[in-house]
Amino acid sequence: MTTKSWPLPLDPAADAELTFLRSAAATLPDTGPAAFAGPRPTRQPRLLDLPAPPPYLPLDDTGLRQHLARARRRADDTATGALVWSDWDISPTAQHAPLRGLTVGVKENIDVAGHPTRAGRAANVPPAVADAPVVTALRNAGALPVAGCAMTELAVCFDGNPNRPPVVNPLDPTLISGGSSSGSAVAVAAGLVDVALGTDTGGSVRVPAAACGVVGVKPTFGRMSRTGTVTLSPSLDHIGVIAPDVALAWAVLDILLGPDTDTEAQTRHTGHPGPSPQESSPDIRVGWPTGWIAQADPDIADRCREVLDACGSADVIEVDMPVAAETAAATNYLILAAEAAELLRDAVLADADTDPRVRSLVAAGSRLTPSEVAAAHRNRLALSGEFANAFADVDLIATPVLPSHTPRIGQTELPAADGRVLEWPGSADLFTAAANATGLPALSLPVVAAKAPPIGLQLIAPWGQDRALMRAAHLLERQTQAPTRGETDTRRRGDR
């Protein structure tokens, strides 16, 4: 039965959601208009002097056929719930295309011609008539969009979807796979596809990447077209890339980002790709926001800090961020709720079987007042100014992706090493939301230790410094000698 009343009634869950949103709004500081006016001079020439990741080596005809056959067998033999459709008979592309043979999974809220863009819903929708521009760009570069990837419904939640089979974390089936780009992360981690596209509104690329031990990156806001996607929040949505390592993420982003931005061009004062492995890399200054880090499980914070300290080219600098992590997350969530209520209204009204969590968010978000939403936008600008101030002294900001260990399925309370208990999913976006609210590029780099679940180290770079971020991530990945994912990685990098 279709529900037509608007606004949606406040059932107990929706009322609790509204109470949470109103409480979050009440915590926002009464800031005046921010004076942030975009990028300001930073230290980024140092990052652009770092070595670039190695290039992707395109496949020849024989390698392409073998690669697709292996991918098909792996998908057939692996019950992950990650894929909602697949097309392993896709035609080969031009011989000399830069990404020839690279298999791509596409989150099911991004249009792929001939396939329905259901965005995690049970509803029947007609097939997309055209590719989203990001998919077109990858096809033109020789990549093969071979699969659609499962997601939480309408990209709202961090785990689970009642309309889809469980998406199983291939590293540990008792752990959640994250969300909302859960299928994209699992498809990459399980080796079903080489890379995958996702979307990120509060951490939805970086959180599942951290949970599944892969790389997840969202670029600067607006760097990649969102045309052809099901929008959740136009102020916060980003398309991102999930890959097994920085090199493959770089290969895809380099195509999707297009020419350097003015910000990158202004700081690219040398024409070479960085020092050779025999040369010393320039030291980078990594900001460690101590007030934010204090909110994390000390075990998670220590493991992330150990990665930074182990990198001989990284100088870790403790910095102060006057805007608290909780305020940044509240700011982002208030904007998300208000915009989602408007944009998801028709979808929720048309489907009585909508995930109750989505329905609660829309019902609560529709009741936020203009003043509450305006306060969130003011704080969003204030947060941008705080990051700009920090980047005058450091090259990057680093935090954990999640403040806790990856939760087990059904777990809502996460004991920390210091005796505190962190809530899930309430704490999921504590550190990731700020990059959405500010639009800054951010990346999740897996931190791997023997007999321990993977966690994610988040790196945030200044506005427009997407390629600089990737170079820095490659440095950390290389110098800390993070374990690779075995045969599939070397094969994709051309060691065939």
- Contacts of residue 463, defined as CB under 8 A and 6 or more positions apart, other chains included, come to 38, 39, 220, 263, 388, 438, 439, 440, 441
Percent helix, strand, coil in the chain, to 5, is 35, 15, 50
d(CA 207, CA 271): 35
DSSP state letters, 199-234: EESSSTTHHHHHHHTSEEEE-STTSS--TTB--S-T
How far is residue 82's CA from residue 214's CA, in Å, rounded to a whole number?
15
Could you confirm whether 5 is annotated as catalytic? no
Q: Which is the catalytic residue, given 86, 177, 181, 204?
A: 204
DSSP per-residue string spanning 313-332: TEEEEEE--SS-HHHHHHHH
Active site residue 204: yes
Asked whether 431 and 399 are in contact (CB, 8 A), the reply is: yes
Is 451 catalytic? The answer is no
Catalytic residue, candidates 107, 184, 233, 444: 107
- DSSP letters of 260-311? PPHHHHHH----S----TTSPPPPEEEEEEHHHHTTS-HHHHHHHHHHHHH-
Q: Where are the alpha helices (DSSP H) in 35-152?
A: 45-48, 61-77, 133-140
AA letter at 193: V
Cβ atoms of residues 404 and 410 within 8 Å: no
- How many C-beta atoms lie closer than 10 Å to residue 125's C-beta? 11
Residue 59 CA to residue 97 CA, distance in Å, equals 9
Render 231-252 in DSSP notation, one character per residue: -S-TTT-EEEEEESSHHHHHHH
d(CA 488, CA 395): 32
CB 436 within 8 A of CB 202: yes
Q: Which of 180, 281, 360, 384 is catalytic?
A: 180
Is residue 476 a contact partner of residue 195, using CB atoms and an 8 Å limit?
Answer: no
**Cα–Cα distance measured from residue 154 to residue 221, given in angstroms and rounded to the nearest whole number:** 20
Rg (CA), the chain: 21
How is the beta sheet containing 452-460 ordered, strand by strand?
83-86, 144-149, 103-107, 195-200, 238-243, 215-218, 442-449, 452-460, 396-400, 284-289, 314-319
Q: Helix 12-27 vs helix 356-365: angle between axes, to the nearest 10 degrees? A: 50
Question: Which residues participate in catalysis according to the annotation?
Answer: 107, 180, 204
